[in-house]
Amino acid sequence: MATKFINLNNLATFLAKLKTLFVAKELKTGSPNTYKVLSDNNLTDELVTKIQNAGDSTFSGAYADLTGKPSIGGKEIASGNQTAASLGLATPADVTTAANDARAGAINDVKNLGYQTAANVNTIVTGKGYQTAAQVDTIVTGKGYQTAANVDAKVNAAKTELQNSLGSAFRAKGSTAFASLPAPASATKGDVWNITDQFTTDDQFVDGSGKTLPAGTNVVAVAVTTGDTTVMKWDALTGMIDLSGYMRKTDLTPASDAEIDALFA
């Protein structure tokens, strides 16, 4: 087995490692040859130098002794609790007052120039015997004529009544298979059901029995009066389409290969 040895490069690496693990010795402050030990409570030379170079400085703690005090608009802020007025700031009340003063001044300027305000104009018009729009409406209504507002109101009322009438004529009840369709006697006039499968009518339908109708047909409950008797029946909204003369798709069966081969046997 080869023997290991240490060269100068190894020693340099070893020394660098030691320096990371230990602190270099320092001389005691003011001593040329005595080094500090762990029991000494001395500052490092670097800290001692900083302290010696710091010089003397004192501060009373009073705001008045500060230099470079803050200011607003060139006005230095005094010490203590300050108000908006002492800081030279306008309060919300000050702003409101200034706005009101400006508004009043503008109105006075208009008056001084000979212009009239809306109130002045109304007063002058009334004084001349002219009628305002409200007065004209009152007079027209009193004569039995209808104003635009009256006409609009009546048109809207009629429109609402018509919409309500149409909306209440039919009531969608949902979708159902024909076998689950309720008897018309238990339905309310205007009930509408969507039938999800093809079906054949019976005697509960207005058009009688035996009519084949496609899936998706809507039926509505209606009152049918014969003489003095009124009964509820179903009526197809899409109109009767008699499909009884047509062959159903399910009745068609494709011929097999064997059956075709048998034709040539």
Using one digit for the tens of pLDDT, what is the confidence trace for 210-232? 889 999 999 999 999 888 889 99
Q: Where in the chain are the domains?
A: 8-54, 98-130, 132-169, 170-245
Q: Select, from the ranges 98-107, 108-117, 145-154, the one with the highest average predicted confidence (pLDDT).
A: 98-107
Residue 195's pLDDT is 94
Average pLDDT, the chain: 78
| 31 conformational bin, left if phi > 0, alpha if psi -120 to 50, beta if neither | beta
Residue listed under structure tokens 């389409």: 241
Residue 62's pLDDT is 80
CB atoms within 10 A of CB 221: 23
Name the pLDDT band for 17 (thresholds 50, 70, 90).
Answer: confident
Q: Considering Cα of 154, then 160, then 161, then 162, what sign does the dihedral take?
A: positive
Residue 192's pLDDT is 92
Residue 69's pLDDT is 77
Residue 1 confidence (pLDDT) above 50: no
- What are the beta bridge partners of residue 81? none
